[in-house]
A and B are shown apart, each in its own frame.
Chain A
Amino acid sequence: MSSVLEITGLRAAVAGKEILHGIDLRIASGEVHAVMGPNGAGKSTLSSVIMGKPGYEVLDGTVTLDGVDMLCLAPWERAQAGLFLGMQYPTEVGGVGVVDLLVEAARSAGRDPSLVAAAVRAEADRIGLDAKLLQRSLNVDLSGGEKKRNETLQLAVLRPKFAILDEIDSGLDIDALRAVAQRVEAATEEFGLGVLAITHYYRLLEELKPDVVHILARGVIVSSGGPELAEQVEVDGYAAFAGIG
């Protein structure tokens, strides 16, 4: 079944300062949308607001998944509705392992928790995450690449409808980047994952092929287009786009 994540007129503030000035995006199952932009454009704010992270205030606009309002839901309800946030800086949680977390997520969502451990092992193997690391506390003593592989592993086990990937390409080497991008790309085929990939750099998009590229600057989307838009950014920089610089 095809799903749609739709963002309309989204305005949001952090600590009383408006960061997003009206964002419109529409992503369907299986599509990969890239949001690119310079530092301070509001990229991380966009991902945080979609998932409902505390500390962000929605001033106006809507976020819906198949017509269901997400903004009135708690973060865990959004996750159960089919959203996933891959974090730029995954949080360390001492004493809680990835299997503990995903078992609890499965139980809470009414899925069979007994299948989780095997699914985690299979995905770890597939994404190239050392099985020994699965015993560790979440994100504790993991390298940048291991953290992002671990985020992607969780995505693959949870099988959400839409994944918001917040700079999943930061802090990891080229091998890890390729493994992560290929797994996400495959998920768009396997279970129709729709992707909102937020990134500063072009290099992610060499591996994870976007259908649509949006340029976010100063809290608004200043340009949208095909993959060629990302290439243009790579050549000309963000300053070349209207309203920047």
Chain B
Amino acid sequence: MNTLTFAASAALDGPDWFAQFRRSGAEAFAAATRPSSEQEIWRYSRIGELDLDGFGPPGAAEASLPATVDTTLADLAGLAVVQNGRVIRCELSPELAARGVKFASAVELDHAEAYVGQVIGRSDDALAVANDAYGSDPLLLVVPRGVTVDRPIMVVDWVSAGGAAVFSRLVVQADAGSAVTVLHQQRSDDQNCWIAPVVELHAARDARVGYMVLQDLGVASWQTATVVAEAHQQSTIDVVAAAFGGHYARLRLDLRLVGRGASGNLAALYFADGSQMFDFRTLQDHQAPDCRSDLLFKGVVDGQSHSVYSGMIHVRPEARGTNALQTNRNIKLSDAAWADSVPNLQIENSDVRCSHASTVGPIDQEQRFYLESRGVPTRRAEQLIVGGFFDDVATRLPHDELRAQIAALVGTKLGVAS
């Protein structure tokens, strides 16, 4: 059964605005060029192996989550569980609800149409447009003006739908002067599926938004994720992505700095092994003066895995006083592993400070010798070096337990007995 039809889109439930939103999405998707590795934005990828029409809609959500999906992180201000694209649980601390914070399925909230799809607009990426057409249940977080959410809000995105295409969406609206951090866990079982989540982040004037995503999908999952972040005047958006799972996992991350003095910090750590492919496409889009963006992506490839980093800093003519950094570093742990690293600059204003750096190489021999000369066996020395390599990204994660989870995942990949 094919999910990607007008009938399938129209058959989904929800309020009128959402039906209209999907209908126009379905029209755009029908008109869009399907991805192929001939296109620059899909170059190096294995997208040709993904048969989009081979997936059906997910079945009904199951009653309970597997024990491997952890919803018990301490010190949360809110928790939502999304299963197979449906919001099945959503809790918010009463104190924040009383202060006007809204956190619920968008189909249940008034005026949700003012937020859903607003940041991403009509994507030039057909697989993000597919989410417009076939998404069933967007999750919406609205933080009102001046409200600081002092503990993280967690979203667990769980997929257990073999043969299905799953389109979840998270929309975060931080109004002027507000602050919020969202921790997003993306997990799936070991069945073949295609997951195309969209995340929209909107930081209004003077707002602070943190978005940390841990991708630990099952071994047979295909993921084509899109995150679009829009930062207005003097606001700050911090994104940290950690990627470990999936057969093919793509993250397209667009940061738009649209208001003067806005800033964004984009960081990622990833560790691919076996036959995995991770595919990162980033855009630091400077549209306003005096904005700052700092990107740091660090990855390890082992086995026969393959990573792609392709990033662009685009400084538009009006973006004088831009300060933009782009760094991608990769360690190759095996001869058969491969990392592509392609930083790009497009600069249309002369009053800018931009730099980019990119490295791909094996573990530094001098570092390994230094640790070995203290009596640390070779494999343990390499584990210490890789752990240390990720350290400057991991320290950007604002939650101890999440940091520990990520350290454990790195340890598992390295074969460290815990």
Contacts and interface: CB of A to CB of B under 8 A. Distances in A.
B367 A108 contact: no
Contacts of A104: 371, 376, 380, 384
Interface in B143-175: none
Given A94-B391, A105-B375, A108-B377, A75 B384 contact: no
B17 interface: no
Contacts of B371: 93, 96, 101, 104
Given A87-B370, A93-B371, A93-B385, A76 B391 contact: no
A154 interface: yes
A90 interface: yes
A23 to B, nearest CB: 20
A54 B365 contact: yes
B378 interface: yes
B335 interface: no
Contact of B376 (A51, A85, A105, A137): A105
User: Is chain B's interface secondary structure helix, strand, loop, or mixed overall?
Assistant: helix
Contact of B380 (A55, A108, A154): A108
Interface in A100-151: 100-102, 104-105, 108-109, 137-138
A93 B369 contact: no
Interface string B355-396: 000000000111101111111111011001101111110000
A146 B171 CA distance: 49
A94 B269 CA distance: 15
Given A53-B369, A79-B373, A93 B378 contact: no
Nearest to B366: A91
A93 to B, nearest CB: 5
Contact of B369 (A54, A96, A158): A54
A87 B369 CA distance: 11
A84 interface: yes
Contact of A74 (B364, B372, B380, B390): B372
16 contacts: A55-B365, A74-B372, A75-B372, A76-B378, A79-B372, A80-B375, A91-B366, A91-B369, A93-B385, A94-B389, A95-B390, A96-B387, A96-B391, A101-B384, A138-B370, A154-B374
Interface of A: 51, 53-55, 74-76, 79-80, 84-85, 87, 90-96, 100-102, 104-105, 108-109, 137-138, 154, 158
A116 B365 CA distance: 26
A108 B375 contact: yes
Interface string B89-126: 00000000000000000000000000000000000000
A100 B391 CA distance: 13
Contacts of B370: 87, 90-91, 93, 138
A105 B374 contact: yes
Given A54-B365, A75-B369, A76-B375, A137 B384 contact: no
A212 B376 CA distance: 31
Contacts of A154: 374
Contacts of A55: 365
Given A76-B376, A101-B371, A137 B391 contact: yes
Contact of A51 (B364, B365, B373): B373
A109 B376 CA distance: 8
A4 B373 CA distance: 19
Interface string B280-299: 00000000000000000000
